[in-house]
Amino acid sequence: MKNEQNYTTGKEFNLLAFSSCGIDTHITFIVILLIYLLTMLGNLFIIILVYLDYRLHTPMYFFLCNLAVQDIIFVSAILPKLIAITITGDTSISFIACLTQLFMFAICVDTDFFLLAVMAFDRFVAICIPLRYYLIMSPKLCILLVATPWILYVCNGICYCFLISALSFLHITCHCILKPVLLTKILFALCSLLANFTLLL
C-alpha cells in the first residue's frame, strides 16, 4: 500500500536540478543563452540561405531545411524555460507546460531520427543511382517523406502525453546529478555547432 501523502495531483512541479548542483547561475545562464542563440541563428541561416539560393533547391537541402526547422522547434520547446529558471530562480513548471514540453520533445526526437534516415536514403540514391536521382526523388516524394514523420509522431506525442497525464507524481522532482549531464550537453552542442559551420563552409 503506497503512502498517499507523498503523491499529488497538483498543477505544478518544482525542478530541483539547478538549485542542488552548485553551479553559478550567471555562468549557466550565459552558456544556455549562447547555445540557444547560436542554434537559432545557425538554423535560421541555413533556412534563409537555402531559400535565397536557387541552386540549393534540391531534395538534399529541402531535407536539411526541415531538419533545421525541427531543431528550432526542439530548442524553443526546452531552452526558454531553462533560461527563465536560471534568471528568476523559480523552479516551478505547470503540469500543462511540462506536458507541452514532453509533447514537443517527443515529436522532435522521433522526427529527427526519421529525417536523418530520409537524408541517408537521399544520399544513397544520389550516389548509387545518379542518373535516376531526380526521377526517384521527385518533389512529391520529398514532401511525402517529410510530412509522414510529422503526422505519425504528432500522434505518438499525443499518446505519450495521454499516458503521462494518467500518472501520479511527487510534487518535487529531482531529475539527476546535473554537472555531468550539463557538460555532456555543452560538448554535444559545441560539436553540433562545429558540424554546422563545417557544413556551411
Of the listed ranges 15-19, 22-26, 119-123, 160-164, the one predicted with least confidence: 15-19
Computed from CA positions of residues 184, 189, 195, 201, in that sequence, does the dihedral angle turn out positive or negative?
negative
Q: What grid cell was written down for 45?
A: 541561416
Can you give the pLDDT at residue 118?
92
Can you give the pLDDT at residue 6?
40
Reported pTM: 0.72
The second-level CATH assignment, the architecture, of 13-200 is Up-down Bundle (1.20)
Return d(Cα 197, Cα 186) in angstroms, integer.
16
Return d(Cα 83, Cα 110) in angstroms, integer.
24
Amino acid type, 44: L
Domain ranges for the chain, please list them. Answer: 13-200
Can you give the pLDDT at residue 174?
52
pLDDT tens, residue by residue, 49-79: 999 999 989 999 999 999 999 999 989 988 8
DSSP letters, 39-89, are HHHHHHHHHHHHHH-GGG-SHHHHHHHHHHHHHHHHHHHHHHHHHHHHHH-
Of the listed ranges 2-16, 42-56, 69-83, 117-131, the one predicted with least confidence: 2-16
